[in-house]
Amino acid sequence: MGIVMGFIYLLHLDRPLSEKHAARHYLGYSTYLPARMEAHRTGTGAHFMQVARERGISWSIARIWPGDRIFERTLKRRQMAPRMCPICRAATQPPRPSALDEDLF
C-alpha cells in the first residue's frame, strides 16, 4: 500500500478554548478539504474543533501544505503552530514602514 497524499491544514482560532486551555490552533490532515472543513464547521470533526464550536469560537484556515500523514505527524511533533501560523506572525511583527512614512522624516 502506497502513501496517500492529501493536505495538512492549520486552523487558527480567534480566541483560546478557555482560560486553562490556551491552544489556538488545530493541525489536521485530509484527502478532501471541503468535506473536512464542513465537518469542523458543523461540529462533527475533531473533538478540539467540536469544543470550539460549542463555545462559539470562530476560526479560519491559516495555512495548507500538500503532504501525507507522516508529514502531518512531523509538523505536530514540532509543537510550533503559532510560529507556523501567518495570522499569529502578522500580529506579532511590527508594521513595515511604507513609502509614505519616509515623507514624514
Q: Could you list the pLDDT tens digit for every one of the 105 residues in the chain? A: 567 799 999 999 999 988 888 889 999 999 999 999 999 999 898 999 999 999 999 999 999 999 999 999 999 999 899 889 999 888 766 656 555 545 444
28 found inside a domain:
yes
Please give the residue range of the domain that contains residue 38. Answer: 6-102
56 found inside a domain:
yes
Q: State pTM to two decimals.
A: 0.82
Other C-beta atoms lying within 10 Å of the C-beta of residue 28: 20
Give the Cα separation of 65 and 6 in Å (integer): 9
User: For residue 1, what is its C-alpha cell?
Assistant: 500500500
92 found inside a domain:
yes
Give the Cα separation of 19 and 23 in Å (integer): 10
What is the number of structural domains in the chain?
Answer: 1
19 found inside a domain:
yes
